[in-house]
């Protein structure tokens, strides 16, 4: 089935994207009973058995249009551990990726609030409520190329485009899907940050660094908002990862890491899949860096 949010966003969505359901379950506490819980009861986790499997759970991976990218590798890994996977990108090539993976593909501009709402309705109709969300969208494209310019030369429109592509997409998707997770009492949201912004920065990449640092802040705030509802929110911060889009400069940077090579999309996907799993039940609000040790070394190795 081909779905394009652009053709649906003009009609009224059943979901009001500006007023998402909080879905908060009432806490159980001492105020409801005069009896205090035993020590065993107090620490008993309300969580599924520890497992790396996601059998039957509906997972959405954004930004999965490239067959060589992190989104595609993540969708493949989540499929392999049992999830019912949906993938989305801004172009119809997503349907080719969906056919290759045996998953469901959707087309939507995730910087557009109405299209995100239409997407949420379409996925719910076809697959059910999303329980696992991977906010990977954010790569530049021909229609929206990356801007590399010092702040003094950066236009406001260029700044906004970078923020929208790398931060607003995560906000809009998280807002659209977190309500159903909270109502169901279980969920995982994993955002794609980067070492740029949260750990380091490069000249000419101020907007990108600001957006990715913002992803970390969004992750931590959302984790605290949803922790009582069984929804864990974390982010993964890749360093230099080798893809078909890697430049010679980026490859050289990867060769200069302590491990001595760039990372691969599959290695990032493995970290994401762990954070999506029931096994990560006691991890929330965290940033997992996947950069070959590059961010922790004190000096260049000789």
* Active-site residue set: 208
Rounded alpha-carbon distances, angstroms, from residue 47 to 28, 180, 228: 15, 17, 12
Residue 186: count other Cβ atoms within 10 Å of its Cβ: 18
Asked if residues 100 and 144 have their Cβ atoms less than 8 Å apart, the reply is no
Asked if residues 107 and 91 have their Cβ atoms less than 8 Å apart, the reply is yes
Q: What b/e sequence results for 274-302 when a residue is b if at least 16 CB atoms lie within 10 Å of its CB, and e otherwise?
A: bbbbbbbbeebbbbbbbbbebeeeeeeee
- Within 8 A by CB and 6+ apart from 171, the residues are 218
Task: Write out 150-192 in H/E/C secondary structure.
Answer: CHHHCCHHHHHHHHHHHHHHHHHHHHHHHHHHHHHCCEEEEEE
């Amino acid at each position: 089935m081909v779905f394009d949010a652009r053709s649906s966003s003009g009609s009224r969505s059943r979901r009001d994207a500006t007023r998402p359901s909080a879905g908060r379950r009432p806490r159980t506490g001492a105020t409801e009973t005069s009896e205090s819980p035993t020590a065993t009861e107090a620490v008993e986790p309300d969580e599924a058995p520890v497992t790396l499997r996601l059998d039957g759970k509906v997972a959405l991976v954004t930004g999965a249009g490239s067959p060589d990218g992190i989104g595609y590798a993540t969708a493949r890994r989540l499929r392999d551990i049992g999830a019912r996977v949906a993938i989305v990108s801004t172009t119809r090539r997503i349907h080719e990726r969906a056919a290759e993976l045996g998953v469901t593909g959707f087309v939507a501009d995730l910087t557009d609030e109405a299209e995100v709402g239409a997407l949420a309705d379409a996925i719910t109709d076809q697959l059910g409520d999303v329980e696992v969300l991977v906010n990977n969208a954010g790569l530049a494209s021909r229609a929206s190329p990356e801007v590399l310019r010092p702040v003094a030369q950066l236009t406001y429109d260029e700044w906004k485009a970078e923020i929208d592509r790398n931060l607003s997409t995560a906000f809009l998707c998280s807002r659209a899907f977190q309500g159903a997770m909270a109502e169901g009492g279980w969920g995982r949201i994993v955002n794609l940050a980067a070492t740029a912004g949260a750990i380091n920065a490069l000249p000419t990449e101020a907007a990108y660094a600001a957006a990715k640092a913002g992803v970390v802040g969004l992750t931590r705030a959302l984790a605290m908002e949803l922790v009582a509802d069984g929804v864990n929110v974390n982010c993964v911060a890749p360093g230099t990862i080798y893809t078909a889009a890697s430049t010679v400069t980026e490859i050289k940077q990867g060769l200069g890491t302590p491990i001595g090579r760039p990372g691969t999309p599959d290695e990032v996907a493995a970290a994401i899949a762990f954070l999506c799993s029931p096994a990560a039940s006691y991890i929330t609000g965290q940033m997992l860096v996947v950069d070959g040790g590059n961010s922790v070394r004190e000096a260049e190795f000789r």
